[in-house]
Amino acid sequence: MPVNGENATPPPAGHERPDWPHIAREIADDLATDAVVREQAGKAPLDEVARLREAGLLALLVPAERGGGGADWRTAHAVLRTVTAADGALGHLLGNHYFLSTSARHLASPARAERVERQSAAGQWCWGGGIAGREPPLTLVPTSDGYLLGGSRRHVTGVAVADRLAVRAVRSGTDEPLAVLVDPAHPGVTAGGGGDTFGQRLAAGGAVEFDEVPVAADDVLGSLSPDEGILSPYACLAAPTARLVSAQFCLGVAEGLLAEVREYERLADSPWAEPAWRPPVAGRPWPDAVHPWRDGPERRDPYAVALYGELAVAVRAAAALADQALGALEAGLARGEDLDDDECAEIAVLAGAAEAAAARAAQDGATRALDVVGADAAAARHGFDRFWRDARTHTLREPVAHRLREVGDYFLHGSHPPFTLPA
């Protein structure tokens, strides 16, 4: 069974696969033109998701023979980072979609996974929800022809735009946690408030109530039990797969902010910059270190230049670690059911380390880069604060300390990380 599109049927002769990174760049350039205005408005990203759908990016990871883009995770990560750099909230929505839409490969039988992916590609579904165990679980009550889903979730990513929701529920009577696929158009699914976070305003999140929603047996994707022996090592790769999506989101935020701040600095130093726009020397964080009588690079504060170098190193180092972890994940996916527990643990630790490094690069970079800009960074017209808010919202849900503890425990004692999924 193809697990990441690498072994998908090649396109017919004379037809080349789309250049997905180029397509993502075009979408990102379009998103960047009004990213600040859209983020401040905070409306549901219906038009933005429609752009992703029209470009084929929603079905990117579905194998070609199942009607999708036939791309692998390396391509998906590049696409995700590009979109996130332009619009962090939409990048979070897209990353969540990529993980959830491929989760059946780990959790379901091959036949069920193929059916779900074919349906997803045919309908160009946008997936929302979340299968992490951060909230009191939903309840799945068996019936004569399936299940009834009940309960509520305080925050579900993408609920305002999703065609399908993948959620976590426990089977009544056994308390086994399961991943369940739900159609949000069912009248028993009610989306409410809760999407008032200070960051990721365009991730279309919010609270959801499930009132006796019918769930077919085929829409139960599989177990999420952390108990030993329930999930195979291959199924457990769902966790590092999700962790690396989280890492790519953080890297996209960090790269997006550094790119915008760099452009700001270049315009500020340009003799062609509008006088009314150019920040005054007094507005700089360290005005005594700036030489206003000089032009060009000599005018710049050397401490600020060094700090930009430090931030660039942090982002590149985190990106290199994420790339190393992705290589390990790709090798694990290729081994399939031959993967053993030790190999899975090594991949999970690498992914956790990459997520921690990327989260720190995003959070620290989003703070310190604004320090260099100075008081003008607070101007709403620049929208620099959206990067900090998007990164901070993400790291509040996924604290770095937990990943570092797992890495440390593995380093010191060889302890395998528990099976946990990011929120």
**Which residue's structure tokens are 């901070």?**
392
**Sorting pLDDT into bands at 50, 70 and 90, what band is 263?**
confident
Of 24, 163, 191, 18, the residue nearest 91 (C-alpha): 24
Whether the pLDDT of residue 10 is over 50: the answer is no
Segment holding 73, helix H or strand E: helix 73-86
Write down the pLDDT at residue 268: 65
Crossing angle between the packed helical segments 385-397 and 238-269, to the nearest 10 degrees: 160
Q: Select the CATH number that applies to the domain covering 129-223 from these four: 3.90.170.10, 3.40.190.10, 3.90.1150.10, 2.40.110.10.
A: 2.40.110.10
pTM above 0.85, yes or no: yes
Integer Cα distance of 397 and 246 in angstroms: 11
Integer Cα distance of 168 and 164 in angstroms: 13
CATH code for the structural domain at 20-126: 1.10.540.10
Residues of the chain with CATH 1.20.140.10: 233-413
Tokens (6 digits) for 99: 């993980």
CB-CB contact of 364 with 108 (8 Å)? no
pLDDT digits (tens, 9 = 90+) for 75-106: 999 999 999 999 998 999 999 999 999 999 99
Residues of the chain with CATH 2.40.110.10: 129-223
Whether the pLDDT of residue 282 is over 50: the answer is no
Of 357, 157, 107, the residue nearest 254 (C-alpha): 357
Beta carbons within 10 angstroms of residue 96's beta carbon: 29
Fold of 233-413: Butyryl-CoA Dehydrogenase, subunit A; domain 3 (1.20.140)
Residues of the chain with CATH 1.10.540.10: 20-126
CB-CB contact of 354 with 325 (8 Å)? yes
Write down the pLDDT at residue 211: 95
- What share of the chain in percent tops pLDDT 90? 63
